[in-house]
Chain A
Amino acid sequence: MKFGVVTFPGSLDDADTVYAVRDVVGIETIPLWHKDRDLHGVDCIVLPGGFSYGDYLRSGALARFAPVMSSVVDFAASGGLVIGLCNGFQILCEAGLLPGALVRNQSLTFVCGQARVKVERADTPFTGLCQRGAVLRLPIKHGEGCFVADESTLRRLEDNRQVVVRYVDEGGAATAGANPNGSLNNIAGIINEGGNVFGMMPHAEHACEELLGMKDGALFFRSIESWVGREVRR
């Protein structure tokens, strides 16, 4: 099992993701460069957090044109696993690999803190080791994390059970108070119809170490490892 973490110009959490997955969780992980179309045989691609190209025009708008992204699109089309965290989620939406868009937080300010999310689906490659309905603690840090989609898209996402994680309160209820950015239906992360492309705003990579206060994020990377392992055996 091998992860590949893409570095775009302006990516910030790329090195942190490599460190967390490789050195803390203990799964082989290599960096990928935005100008390089070669994916070096990775099993899962991570599009990390940060501000690709400064995100001045729209978050993720320029990153989707990077050479590496054409390989990512082909990889996803052939069923490869792709996970986008924060800016990575924004890039996946801009690239059309996930529906909807991420716009400015309702508060109009950047928001950094701890969020609770409920795992709505434990049968995806990204959440297989989670309990369905489990409430995880994960950090968030974004200025444009408000998930929006038109009515029919939103209905389709809910009907197809494509919402994987949702912002909830301590009791697991998706309340307005638990929603840090105004996302529709408290959506924190979604998966594509094929079930192999996943994006979410919270930073799993910053929640892998007890010393740093949170460790629920490691579940996502372990789930992927376990899924890939089973695929290989099959």
Chain B
Amino acid sequence: MRAKVYVTPKAGVLDPAGKATERGLHALGFGEVHDVRLGRYITMEVDGDPTDVTARLDDMCRQLLANGVIEDYLFEIGESGVE
């Protein structure tokens, strides 16, 4: 299976990277942009039992991929090899 994990700053947590990027976009004339949030996008191949994969991925996110204190995560599971 191919898993896609998105890690983003939690709602309400200051995101200096998003703030600076938004300011850059405004400076370039993209005034329609607001609330830019910068995160990480992680993809991986996961073997094993498809019934367990959700729980396993959730564990991975909680233990390593996301910092629960300041980040939220979201993941999708798709067909192997498909981005």
Of residues 5 through 24 on chain B, the ones whose CB sits less than 8 Å from some CB of chain A are 16-17, 20-21, 23-24
**B28 x A65 contact (CB < 8 A):** yes
Number of A-B contacts (CB under 8 A): 24
Interface magnitude class on chain A = under 10
Which residues 23-62 of A have a CB within 8 angstroms of B?
Answer: 53-54, 56-57, 61-62
Q: Is the CB of B28 within 8 A of A56?
A: no
Q: Across the interface, name the chain B residue whose C-beta is closest to A61.
A: B24
Chain B positions within 8 Å of A54 at CB level? 16-17, 20
- Contact check, B27 vs A56: say whether CB atoms are below 8 A apart: no
Chain A interface, DSSP helix/strand/loop, else mixed: loop
Contact B27 A57 (CB under 8 A): no
Interface residues of A in 184-233 (CB under 8 A from B): none
CB distance from B31 to the nearest CB of A (A): 15
Least CB separation from B21: chain A residue: A57
Residue B65 is within 8 A (CB to CB) of chain A in the complex: no
Q: Which residues of A contact B24 (CB under 8 A)?
A: 53, 57, 61-62, 65
Instruction: Write the chain A residue with the least CB distance to B24.
Output: A62
Chain A residues, Cβ within 8 Å of B1: none
Q: Does B77 contact A (CB under 8 A)?
A: no
Contact for B16 among A56, A61, A62, A65, CB less than 8 A:
A56
* CB pair B17 A65 closer than 8 Å: no
Neighbouring B residues of A61 by C-beta, 8 Å: 24
CB neighbours of B53 from chain A (8 A): none
Q: How far is the CB of A12 from chain B (nearest CB, A)?
A: 15
Contacts of A65 in B (CB 8 A): 24, 27-28
7 contacts between A and B (CB under 8 A): A54-B16, A56-B20, A56-B38, A57-B21, A62-B20, A62-B24, A62-B27
